[in-house]
Amino acid sequence: MSEIQSIGMWGGNTYQSFILKPVTAPTGFDFYLEEYDSSTVWRYRSRIEIIKAGDPDYLDLEFWYVQFRRYEDGTEKNKIAFGLRDMDGNYVVTDPLTSIKLYDKDGIQVPLSDRKFYSLSKFLNGRYDAAQGRWSFDSAFVNDSGYGPEFSVPFKVDGNYHLEVSDGARTYHGFQHFAGKEMLPIIPSTSFRAIKNSEGSLILTWDVPSQLEFINSGLQTSVRAWIDVYQGSAVAAELWLNNLPTHLGYAIIPQTVMQMLEAEGDSPTFQLQLRTIDNFNRTYSNAVPLSQLKKPGGAVVIPLN
């Protein structure tokens, strides 16, 4: 027995779907699907589907979330967010869906705003290894697209939300358990500071959330920091620093990474997100132009490893 193809899985206990598409069509009579799961959090399989030659192309509902978002300007939003990939693993370039429906835990359809499809955006990923104290960045831009409809009815908690989307040929389903809204603190944009070190790297700092009720809540959270650059009024490219430790309070971006970003656009702005680990609750600071950020004041010591 020989292996036809394998794929890595991710996502913990959030909704994910995966497509195995053999490079060459296999021949034979008996096929076996084997799965090895080393995840430390529970998850389950809701469906395994075999797509035959001649069937309509299958879309991959790659991720989806029910989200409560709070913004520094006082705005609050209830949203869903999801993305679609084609059978070759690429994010869809144009909106292929004919319908998007959301149902609450009681099976009642939730009225949604317009679908808010955003076409391909270009971004670089960066990450921080807390164990090693090191930063790493992608060497090339990648693209994504997605949907972000909003709804105004109150959340129903402790139950599954059901997403149903259709492209006319197939209907795709996803389920998410929403435990409830969390009033996470908003990291104030007035605390943002920026300075360059002797190597030309950009060092960004911000206040760490210190509210006692948040610290004592036991919530697992992380920070996303990002920089947008623009062509005119439109975002041309983004740098995302994902899953930063909430207590970190700074980021270091090499000069070469900033040069890659600024080659795509100008007028860079900086913004922060505080989110629960399950990504169901987020807060957003205001976006601030890098050109307006002051240098850190006082005795601020930033490790440069």
Identify whether 219 is part of a domain.
yes
pTM higher than 0.85 for the full model? no
Same structural domain, 99 and 197: no
CATH number at residue 258: 2.60.40.10
The single-letter DSSP state of residue 295 is: P
Residue 299 has pLDDT above 50, yes or no: no
Name the more confident of 63 and 98: 98
Residues 232 and 268 in one domain: yes
Same domain, yes or no, for 168 and 93? yes
Give strand ranges (E) for the chain: 60-71, 76-85, 99-103, 109-110, 117-129, 134-137, 142-147, 150-151, 159-166, 171-178, 193-196, 202-205, 221-231, 234-245, 250-253, 266-276, 281-284, 288-289
Q: What CATH number does residue 72 fall under?
A: 2.60.40
Among the three residues 178, 200, 220, which one is the final residue of a domain in this structure? 178
**Domain final residue, candidates 158, 178, 198:** 178
Q: Are 79 and 148 in contact (CB under 8 A)?
A: yes
Question: Is residue 300 over pLDDT 60?
Answer: no
pLDDT tens-digit map of 199-240: 999 999 999 988 867 777 888 999 999 999 999 999 999 999
Q: In 2-85, at which residue ranges do the beta strands (DSSP E only) sit?
A: 60-71, 76-85
Count how many residues are written for the chain.
305
- Higher-confidence residue of 6 and 158: namely 158
In a domain, 172, yes or no: yes
Residue 305's pLDDT is what? 46
Token pair of 228 as six digits: 């947008």
Mean pLDDT across the stretch 180-200?
Answer: 94
Q: Spell out the alpha helix ranges (H) of the chain.
A: 212-215, 255-262
Count of H-run helices and E-run strands, the chain: 2, 18
Identify the pLDDT of residue 24: 65
At a CB cut-off of 8 Å and minimum separation 6, what does 79 contact? 66, 67, 68, 69, 148, 149, 150, 151
Does 173 lie in the same domain as 67?
A: yes
Name the domain count of the chain.
2
Judge if 204 and 104 occupy the same domain: no
Q: Looking at residue 265, what is its pLDDT?
A: 94
Mean pLDDT for the stretch of residues 85-106: 90
* 171 and 195 both lie in a single domain: no
Beta strand 60-71 with 281-284 is parallel
Ranges assigned E (strand) in 86-200: 99-103, 109-110, 117-129, 134-137, 142-147, 150-151, 159-166, 171-178, 193-196
| Phi, psi angle pair for 185, to nearest 5° | -70, 155
Residues 224 and 286 in one domain: yes
CB-count burial class (<10 Å; 0-12, 13-18, 19+) for 223: buried
Q: Let me know if residue 104 belongs to a domain.
A: yes
Residues 93 and 73 in one domain: yes
Domain match, 66 and 164 both: yes
Is the predicted pLDDT of residue 54 greater than 70, yes or no?
Answer: no
Chain position carrying tokens 């192309």: 57
Res 36 pLDDT > 80 = no
- Measure the CA–CA gap between 189 and 193, rounded to whole angstroms: 9
Averaged pLDDT, 92-115: 92
% of the chain exceeding 70 in pLDDT: 78
In a domain, 134, yes or no: no
64, 173: one domain: yes
Token pair in block for residue 247: 């207590």
| Residue 15, pLDDT above cutoff 70 | no
Question: How many CB atoms within 10 Å of residue 186?
Answer: 20
Whether 19 is in a domain gets the answer no
Q: In this structure, is residue 37 part of a structural domain?
A: no
> Mean pLDDT of all residues in the chain?
85
pLDDT tens, position by position, 235-274: 999 999 999 999 999 999 999 999 999 999 999 999 999 9
Which range of residues forms the domain containing residue 172? Answer: 60-121+144-178
Domain boundary among 135, 157, 178: 178
Q: Is residue 131 part of a domain?
A: no
- Mean pLDDT confidence for 194-202: 94
Of 82, 99, 66, the closest CA to residue 146 belongs to: 82
Give 134 or 298, the one with higher predicted confidence: 134
Query: What is the percentage of the chain residues whose pLDDT exceeds 90?
Result: 55
What pLDDT is attached to residue 301?
46
In a domain, 247, yes or no: yes
Q: Return the pLDDT at 197.
A: 92
Identify whether residues 162 and 251 lie together within a single domain.
Answer: no
Residues 228 and 280 in one domain: yes
pLDDT band for position 25 (cuts 50, 70, 90):
low
Contacts of 210 (CB under 8 A, 6+ apart): none
Q: Do 181 and 196 touch, CB atoms closer than 8 A?
A: no
